[in-house]
Amino acid sequence: MRPSITIALAAGLAAPQAVGAAEIRTVTLSTAGLALIEAEEQLGDVPATLSVRRGDIDDFLKSFWLQDPAGGVPSISLPGDGAFADTFDLLPLDPDDLTDPAGLLGAMIGAEIEVERQGETTTGRNMGVVQRPCEDGSCSFLTLSDDSGGLRQFRFDAGLDIRFADPADRAMIARALDAWRGQSDPGTIPVEIGSDVPEPRDVTMTWLQEAPAWQTAYRAIDGAGGLRLQGWAVLENATGHDWQDVTLTLATGDVRALEVELYARQEVAREQAEEARAPGAADVVVGRTMQSGLAPSPEPAPAAPVEADDGASFSRYTLTDPVSLAAGEMVSLPFLDETLAEARMLLFRGGRGQQHPDIALEIENPLPLRLPAGVLTLYEAGRGHAGDAMIPEIPPEGEATVNFATERAVTVREDQSRVDSVREMRVSGGVLRITEDLERRTLYRIEGAADAARTVTIDHPRRRDWTLTAPEPAEERLDWWRYEVEVPSGEIARLEVVERQPRERGFGLLEMDIDTLQRWGSTAPDAETRALLEELAGLRREQANLAEQIGRLQQRERELVEEQQRLVELITALGDESDANARRRDRVDAIDGEIAAAREERRDLQQRRDAIEREIRELIGA
């Protein structure tokens, strides 16, 4: 058995403080994933203590504020992220030394200790624990240097009591034990809230912490009196605190919630210093400037009170009855009950490839608050479940259309056609500028149900840069035009939507081929432009013909040169005065004349081609 080591502390081991019993009064759950907690506590000369989960400490440090009727300056103190390691960095002990008496004595070599066995006490300086052979095989022995300088050894067993005599040593070990105690629950951090006002008074503490977003489940009952819409909140108490008769508020909206690390240490990489050198004048000036610019840190000002209310980016629903909910439990509570006007419709959305219209609800928000997004379950009075739908967040006086079923008794066929017509054509700066009218026709062919007539609502999509020509819509929205079509039983109804889009295009005439010129010339809406394009096409044809002739002449020149070269080589190789060679020499001389004539003709054609090019440029203003 291990010996008994008694550590007599001057102030005693600090007993763990009880977590402050701050009374939670108000909880606001947000769809941004945060919980706003308001709690009441008494504050005076003794700080209030809160137990904050490690995962919530950053949000706590970011958001905590104090409503103090005395106007005191608040303070927050808590152990740092590296408090445990920092404590042992300053002590001659390792954390494991405190869990092993022999290790503790080994770390405290030279410490003044008192050793007691069977009522006999010996005082001296600790020299550590060693292993020696004994009748049991191997035993531990404590070595002590007594006041006379002698060395005493004591068997390190359960009959040996050891006491540290120096109060400083006892205080050091107590500090190490406190560090271990603070590490016993790494999931929570004790936070002390203090103030510079010592008088006792009640204060309100407010802070944010992470929480699951509350969700909405709607029930809608479609009856003779309209659509009764009831909203239920599904939420969980994940704050780590029990709620007892708290005022619960549900907030919805698009607020920005930032996550920032304030508790963890932020290490900063520093530049390595260069080799030491004598400071120059610039260094001295900078140093003096920096020193002279430092000023004492001002005392923190009292926190300004914050008024929480509905804002431009969120809406709040506060439940009338207090809520009690233990930490970790869930609850579902109704928070909204409104009757809306009947808004059921058969809705067909064009451009989506549908064949049948949807059975939909158009929900208008009559409240001055946002309706949160959520799932909707629709019931028909006397008939039961009619379908489910997802509702997006609806702003005040806004509306949303949601689908909950498909009407397969009605079939819709959607066909599109497009016609392009030239409205204006002109030539300027060598460019043919064309203004066109694009016309798109969308035909909705609706086959009615066999049992009864239907009214089908068609949402025709609005397309960028297209203007509606016909027919006039029953309603115009940002993304669509809405039409109401009455469809008799078993019959076919039609709706044709005509849209127009003006379009301007430009084409360079110098690069345009003859076929394209002829095509645009045939569609020109005015005689002047048509005549100009026809003349231009004629000049381009002549130009092309000249280019072909020039090409043939160039080929003829190459052939004549090759023939002449071949004859000269043959005459030289034979080297005689035969009649055949004489004829060859005559042919060489004749070829000179043919080449000259071909080149002259080619130059004339090239001049004509260049003249046509100038004429074309003048004609089109290039």
pLDDT > 90: percent of the chain: 33
> At which residue do the structure tokens 């080297």 appear?
575
Return phi, psi of residue 549, to 5°.
-65, -40
SS3 label, residue 532 = helix
Instruction: State mean pLDDT over 517-540.
Output: 86
Asked if CATH classification 2.30.30.520 holds for the domain at 4-17+67-200, the reply, yes or no, is yes
- Report the pLDDT averaged over residues 569-580: 85
Could you tell me the pLDDT band of residue 301, with boundaries at 50, 70 and 90? very low
Give the DSSP per-residue string, 230-270. Answer: EEEEEEE--SSS-EEEEEEEEEEE---------SS------
More confident residue, 332 or 84: 332
Report how far residue 300's alpha carbon sits from residue 46's, in angstroms, rounded to the nearest whole number.
20
Task: Say if residue 381's pLDDT is above 80.
Answer: no
User: DSSP assignment of 281-344, as one string?
Assistant: HHHHHHHHHHHHH--PPPPPPPPPP-----BTTEEEEE-SS-EEE-TT-EEEEEEEEEEE---E
Q: CA–CA separation, 340 vs 473, rounded Å?
A: 25
Helical (H) or strand (E) element with 524 = none
At residue 209, the pLDDT reads 93
| Single-letter residue type at 147 | D
Closest CA to 38 of 53, 50, 28, 48: 28
* Averaged pLDDT, 463-482: 90
Q: Within 13 A of 384's CA, how many CA atoms are on the CB side?
A: 0
Q: Where are the domains of the chain?
A: 4-17+67-200, 411-508, 514-620
Kindly give, in sequence order, each residue whose CB lies less than 8 Å from that of residue 89, ignoring residues fewer than 6 positions away. none
Q: Give 199's pLDDT tier (boundaries 50, 70, 90).
A: very high
Lowest-confidence pick of 77-91, 402-416, 516-530: 77-91
Which pLDDT belongs to residue 4? 53
Mean local confidence (pLDDT), 201-224: 91
Does an H or E element contain 41, and which? strand 34-43
CA 160-165-168 angle, 5° bins: 135
Lookup: tokens for 8 = 């007599």
pLDDT at 18: 35
Q: Is the pLDDT of residue 182 over 90?
A: no
Q: Is the pLDDT of residue 87 over 70?
A: yes
- Residues 390/375, Cβ–Cβ less than 8 Å: yes
Nearest residue to 443 (alpha-carbon basis) of 362, 380, 350, 515: 350
- Residues 208-236, mean pLDDT to the nearest whole number: 89
Conformation bin of residue 607: beta by default, left when phi > 0, alpha when psi is -120 to 50: alpha
Q: What residues contact 22, with CB distance under 8 A and at least 6 apart?
A: 39, 40, 41, 48, 50, 205
C-alpha 107/C-alpha 88 separation (Å) is 12
Nearest to 21 by CA among 244, 330, 323: 244
> SS3 for 90?
coil
Tokens of 87: 């404590």
Any alpha helices (H) in 183-308, and if so which ranges? 281-293
Q: Judge whether 367 and 207 are in contact, CB under 8 Å.
A: no
pLDDT of residue 3: 57
The mean per-residue pLDDT over the stretch 363-385 comes to 86
Q: For residue 295, what pLDDT is reported?
A: 34
d(CA 565, CA 469): 76
Q: What is the pLDDT of residues 410-425, one digit of tens each?
A: 999 999 999 888 888 8
Rounded mean pLDDT, 273-296: 43
User: Which pLDDT score is estimated for 289?
Assistant: 33
DSSP state of 498: E
DSSP code, position 486: E
In this prediction, residue 311 carries a pLDDT of: 53
CB neighbours of 178 closer than 8 A, spacing ≥ 6? 13, 14, 87
Instruction: Return the DSSP state at 13.
Output: P
Q: What is the pLDDT of residue 535?
A: 86
H/E stretch holding 110: none
Q: How confident is the model at residue 110 (pLDDT cuts 50, 70, 90)?
A: confident
Quote the pLDDT of residue 312. 58
Strands lying side by side in the sheet with 480-487: 399-406, 358-364, 344-349, 454-461, 480-487, 475-476
Q: Cα(402)–Cα(251) distance, rounded to whole angstroms?
A: 23
Q: Which amino acid is at 320?
A: T
Identify any residues that bridge with 221 across adjacent strands, giving them in sequence order. 228, 379
CA distance 347 to 475: 14
The pTM of the whole model exceeds 0.95: no
Res. 303: pLDDT tops 50: no
Mean pLDDT of all residues belonging to the chain: 83
100: exposed, middle or buried (Cβ count in 10 Å: 0-12, 13-18, 19+): middle
What kind and span of H or E run contains 602?
Answer: helix 579-620
Torsion angle of the four alpha carbons 596, 600, 602, 603, in this order, in degrees rounded to the nearest 10: 130
The DSSP code sequence of 182-237 is: HTS-TTEEEEEEEES--S-EEEEEEEEEE-PPPEEEEEEEEETTEEEEEEEEEEE-
Pairing mode of beta strands 215-223, 201-210? unpaired
* Residue that is written with structure tokens 């397969």 in the block: 408
- Given a cut of 90, whether residue 492 has pLDDT beyond it is yes
Which amino acid is located at 125 in the chain?
R
Q: How confident is the model at residue 187 (pLDDT cuts 50, 70, 90)?
A: confident
**pLDDT score for 355:** 94
Q: How far apart are CA 456 and CA 453, in angstroms?
A: 10
Q: Is the link from the previous residue into 471 a cis peptide, with omega within 30 of 0?
A: yes
444, 432 Cβ separation under 8 angstroms: no
Token pair of 9 as six digits? 């502390």
R_g of the chain, CA atoms, integer Å: 49
Alpha carbon of 619 to those of 505, 523, 605: distances in Å?
20, 20, 21
pLDDT band (50, 70, 90) for residue 222: confident
Neighbours of 366 (CB within 10 A): 13
Q: Does the structure show a pLDDT above 70 at 90?
A: yes
